[in-house]
Amino acid sequence: MARRNYEGVAVAVPITVPYLRYTTEGAHWFLGRAVRSLVDSSGIAKEDIDGLCVSSFSLAPDTAVGVTQHLGLSPRWLDHVPTGGASGVMCLRRAARAVQAGDAEVVACVAADTNHVDSFRQTLGGFSYFSRDASYPYGSGGPNSIFAMITAHYMRRFGARREDFGRIAVSQRQNALLNPNAMFKRPLTLDEYIGARPIADPLHLFDCVMPCAGAEAFLVMSESRARDLGLSHVLIHGAIERHNAFSSDPIMVRGGWRQDRDDLYAQAGVRPDALDFIQTYDDYPVIVMMHFEDLGFCEKGEGPAFVQAHTLTHDGTFPNNTSGGQLSAGQAGAAGGFLGVTESIRQLTGAAGGRSVPDAKLGLVAGFGMVTYDRCLCTGAVILGRSE
Amino acid sequence: MTMPLMRPKRKNPVLRTRQINLPPSARGRVALGITAAAAEGRFELQVCGECSTVQYPPRSACQKCLSAALRWKPQTGHGELLSATTLHHSNDLFFRERLPWRLGLVELDAGPTVMVHLHGEVGDAPQRVRVGARLDRAGQAVLIGFPDEGTANMADDKMLREMASDPKFRKVLVTDGKTPVGQAMVRALVKAGADIVWVGHAEPWKKLGGLDDITALPQVSLVALDVTNGRSVTELAGEIGGKVDIVINTAELHRTFGIGSRRGTDVAKAEMEINYFGLLRLAQEFGPALKGRSADGATHATAWVNLLSVYALANFPPQGTFSASKAAAYSLSQCLRAEMRPAGIRVVNVFPGPIDDEWNQHMPPPKLAPEALASAIVKALRDGVEDVYPGDVAQEWLERWRDNPKILERELAINGG
């Protein structure tokens, strides 16, 4: 059976609950703020939200089930998507199918995490079976250790230099300065990037995201419903997901997007050069570079040259992570996986303020999540377009 | 090239004694298969019984064919270092105190990619390495990337010393120096570079052969120690307990009786008094002192060795009461191991077969030479192994016991004891 397209589905009402470095509030507090903002901003009554899709690392012992009672919701469709950095794309896909099938009319997709003073360390130790057994006992550096080795390997094999990764980080900081929700408010120079303290060679401070608390959310509904309500919205031109791709690669050099990208562009009926911007999952700059290669903007190994040949700011030749991304906006746990979706809705509905990509019509959001052992397992991508 | 460990300076008594932090010790039950093998000095991984796929991290099913028939099999560990990093930051206190710390990803020739602690002699990627499994300070197995060919001082590598209990520059108590095993032990420790070897001597008026020879060694000093006497143990612990880095309990009483071959319980009690209660007394007095010093500099307190017997696994009827006392000691040593673990002190249990000494006069060869036993113990300390079955007889018993303890019991009973 041929894959059905995502026609008739609208994505609207991007919400960001402002990030905090540390908080004493729990994830449920941020979920509550996010859903309240969805209701206030959309004019849709809480009772009319009949679908809920949740992503969070810090809900335990609750799941999405407990959230319904906690927030007094009574959805007829519920999902809990534990794919972290890929959860934005994946919640969107699932919600869109629910709307198309008539299983739900209005789906609230919400990602939220808290960050207590000691919660990041505790999350790392119990992140997965494999991380508990086979990576955390080795230096307890968390994902920094793995991505340091992936970065070092990539640099050796393809000749990337720290300056190349620095261009990504510095451009994202420039974008962040125009995003009032970004945690980082000061400019970053390439010299500061290069001179930062080492974390795990070759990674230095500005290669790493800053864990924080916060939430991101959006609504998925039919296009006609969005139009009736007068909500600015975007349309889904194609979406892919993949888990545990290329598992026989001894070390990660490519992401699962490589396997499904032809499908993605075929769904949208476009080529990569038709896209006006991209939102990559920037847990580390090397992964941003892999997005560029594996999503077909350049060949494998050409990432460094591609970065050198482009300006990556919102007004550049290849706008990437126009919100500042997690490197400069902050990583609010699973909300980091939603950041690209909310930012793309804003870009395509004229709500991105001073960081707007000029005349943006089509954008790509990619997701990348869950380092259970030696690589991230979940990849996904969606192409969103302006509604005319 | 590893720089040889230099004799540490004397401790500044004004400074606080550092306390131990353990590396993360949580493991799933399946993953503990690696620990079980590493405890005996082997590197084993899961191998699928149906499709022969070697996999890591350990799983509950073969990732290739989904078979549940997974077996632990020894690995050569040969592989290629794909990438390495030096951590300058860690979220865990143990590593934080030991930064910078080097890690690598190794693609084993057998298939899987493994994350390892890297030995200092392993250079930049890519290069050939050999992966082995060691117990870390938490007593859990970790994988280590060794250089394909190491140099003379490779055991002195800072990371590797965290996984081992090398006697070099350490202060050791051997609880009984009168026996051939005790004396061989003392000589092996001196040869291994021990700083001080205190040698227990229960009845100083007894002049036994060999004692003068070892006393003549400059590192050795005789101390009064009668493990059947609580006060004697307490007094010695008060004197040297705060300095001992390794306790090697060689004190044992070995007689060769079953139940029917000797009336009364005097001998059995004497065996228990030394072999079981002696260990209990030592552990109560010296255990806390060792625990308090388990992070005290480069030559911190590190290990406790119990000389048990392979008869602790299954009763050898001709030496029935001796076997029972060693079984009791074995059980107690498991308790000691559990209590020492939070301090990162390794408890090493040694299970020899018959030793070539006077009490095994009637045992046919092969018998284990005291010198071979002593060097096996030193090797176990250097390699960080916690269960040692030295010699052919012990290995054979172990294999039979592992295969089926009930069959071994019946085989041992075949001649009516």
DSSP string, A182-208: -S--S---HHHHHHSPEEETTEEGGGS
Å between B312 CA and nearest CA of chain A = 32
DSSP string, B263-311: -SSHHHHHHIIIIIHHHHHHHHHHHHHHHHTTTSSTT---EEEEE--GG
Å between A82 CA and nearest CA of chain B = 21
Same domain, B208 and B62: no
Partner-chain residue, chosen from A124, A135, A250, that has the shortest CB–CB distance to B107 = A250
pLDDT-derived band at A315 (thresholds 50, 70, 90) equals very high
Domains and CATH numbers, chain A: 9-118+213-229 (3.40.47.10), 128-212+234-386 (3.40.47.10)
Are the C-beta atoms of residues B65 and B48 closer than 8 Å to each other? Answer: yes
Cα–Cα distance, A8 to A225 (Å, whole number): 10
Q: Where among B108, B139, B163 does a domain terminate?
A: B163
Q: Is residue B417 part of a domain?
A: no
Q: Which chain A residues have a beta carbon less than 8 Å from that of B113? A: 250-251, 374
Same domain, B83 and B56: yes
Domain tally for chain B? 2
User: Quick check: B15 pLDDT over 90?
Assistant: no
- How many CB pairs (< 8 A) connect A and B? 124
pLDDT, residue B416, reads 61
Which residue is closest to B23 within chain A, CA to CA? A137
Are the C-beta atoms of residues A342 and A218 closer than 8 Å to each other? Answer: yes
Cα–Cα distance, A92 to A88 (Å, whole number): 6
Same domain, B112 and B185: no
3-state secondary structure A71-114: CCCCCCEEEECCCHHHHHHHHHHHHHHHHHHCCCCEEEEEEEEC
DSSP B245: S
- The predicted-structure confidence for B267-320, as pLDDT tens digits, reads as follows 999 999 999 999 999 999 999 999 999 999 889 999 999 999 999 999 999 999
- Chain A contact for B9 (CB, 8 A cutoff): no
Angstrom CA distances, A287 to A92, B155, B156, B344, stand at: 22, 38, 38, 38
Q: Where among B135, B163, B191 does a domain terminate?
A: B163
Q: Is residue B7 part of a domain?
A: no
Å between B335 CA and nearest CA of chain A = 25
Q: Is residue B9 part of a domain?
A: no
- Chain A contact for B123 (CB, 8 A cutoff): no
- Chain B contact for A157 (CB, 8 A cutoff): no
Which amino acid appears at position A124 of this protein? L
Q: Which chain A residues have a beta carbon less than 8 Å from that of B125? A: 152-153, 156
CB atoms within 10 A of CB B174: 31
Across B325-347, average pLDDT:
98
Cα–Cα distance, A298 to A273 (Å, whole number): 10
Q: What is the mean pLDDT of chain A?
A: 96
How far is CA A131 from its chain centroid?
Answer: 22
Q: Is residue B2 part of a domain?
A: no
Partner-chain residue, chosen from B85, B87, B117, that has the shortest CB–CB distance to A152 = B85
pLDDT, residue B417, reads 53
Å between B166 CA and nearest CA of chain A = 22
Give the rounded percent of residues in chain B with a pLDDT score beyond 90: 85
ipTM: 0.94
Q: Is residue B340 part of a domain?
A: yes
**Closest Cα to residue B384, out of B165, B190, B222?**
B165
User: Quick check: A122 pLDDT over 80?
Assistant: no
Cβ contact B23–A373 (<8 Å): no
Q: Hunting for tokens 């498991």 — which residue is that?
A: B334
Cα–Cα distance, A12 to A9 (Å, whole number): 10
pLDDT, residue A129, reads 92
Same domain, B401 and B332: yes
Q: Which chain B residues have a beta carbon less than 8 Å from that of A203? A: 85
- Chain B contact for A140 (CB, 8 A cutoff): yes
Cα–Cα distance, B411 to B220 (Å, whole number): 44
Same domain, B99 and B175: no
- The predicted-structure confidence for A171-198, as pLDDT tens digits, reads as follows 999 999 999 999 999 999 999 999 999 9
Partner-chain residue, chosen from A133, A201, A203, that has the shortest CB–CB distance to B28 = A133
Same domain, B106 and B246: no
Same domain, B155 and B200: no
User: Quick check: A4 pLDDT over 60?
Assistant: yes
Cβ contact A141–B107 (<8 Å): no
Same domain, B177 and B145: no
- The predicted-structure confidence for A201-235, as pLDDT tens digits, reads as follows 999 999 999 999 999 999 999 999 999 999 999 99
pLDDT, residue B360, reads 87
User: Quick check: B185 pLDDT over 90?
Assistant: yes
Across A16-38, average pLDDT:
96
Q: Where among B163, B193, B208 does a domain terminate?
A: B163
pLDDT, residue B415, reads 67
Cβ contact B26–A132 (<8 Å): yes
Q: Is residue B103 part of a domain?
A: yes
Cα–Cα distance, B116 to A134 (Å, whole number): 9
Q: Report cis status (omega within 30 of 0) of the bond before B126.
A: yes
- The predicted-structure confidence for A268-295, as pLDDT tens digits, reads as follows 999 999 999 999 999 999 999 999 999 9
Å between B116 CA and nearest CA of chain A = 7
**Closest Cα to residue B239, out of B286, B202, B201, B277?**
B286
Across B70-96, average pLDDT:
97
Buried b (16+ CB within 10 A) or exposed e, A271-292: eeeebbbbbbbbbbbbbbbbbb
**Closest Cα to residue B106, out of B151, B139, B157, B142?**
B142
Cα–Cα distance, A373 to A367 (Å, whole number): 18
Which amino acid appears at position A388 of this protein? E
Kindly report the CATH number assigned to the domain that includes residue B220.
3.40.50.720
Q: Which long-range contacts (CB under 8 A, 24 or more apart) does A34-42 make?
A: A34/A110, A34/A112, A34/A215, A34/A216, A34/A217, A35/A71, A35/A73, A35/A108, A35/A110, A35/A217, A37/A217, A38/A13, A38/A108, A38/A110, A38/A217, A38/A218, A38/A219, A41/A13, A41/A15, A42/A12, A42/A13, A42/A219, A42/A229, A42/A231
Q: Is residue B228 part of a domain?
A: yes
Cα–Cα distance, B174 to B282 (Å, whole number): 11
What domain range is B131 assigned to? Answer: 32-163
pLDDT-derived band at A16 (thresholds 50, 70, 90) equals very high
Across A126-147, average pLDDT:
92
Across A72-81, average pLDDT:
98
Same domain, B206 and B90: no
Which residue is closest to A208 within chain B, CA to CA? B89
pLDDT, residue B212, reads 87
- Chain A contact for B22 (CB, 8 A cutoff): no
pLDDT-derived band at B363 (thresholds 50, 70, 90) equals confident
pLDDT, residue A126, reads 78
Å between A25 CA and nearest CA of chain B = 22
Cβ contact B85–A125 (<8 Å): no
pLDDT, residue B65, reads 97
Which amino acid appears at position B217 of this protein? L
Handedness of CA B58, B64, B68, B73 (dihedral sign): negative
Cα–Cα distance, A132 to A372 (Å, whole number): 9
Are the C-beta atoms of residues B35 and B187 closer than 8 Å to each other? Answer: no
Structure-token pair, residue A127: 């992140």
Same domain, B238 and B334: yes
Mutation for testing the A interface, residue in B87, B109, B129, B159 having most A CBs under 10 Å: B87
Which residue is closest to B88 within chain A, CA to CA? A199
Across B118-123, average pLDDT:
96
Same domain, B87 and B188: no
Q: Hunting for tokens 């060795």 — which residue is that?
A: B305
Cβ contact A150–B28 (<8 Å): no
Cα–Cα distance, B42 to B332 (Å, whole number): 25
Q: Is residue B176 part of a domain?
A: yes
Same domain, B320 and B179: yes
Q: Hunting for tokens 């690589």 — which residue is that?
A: A375
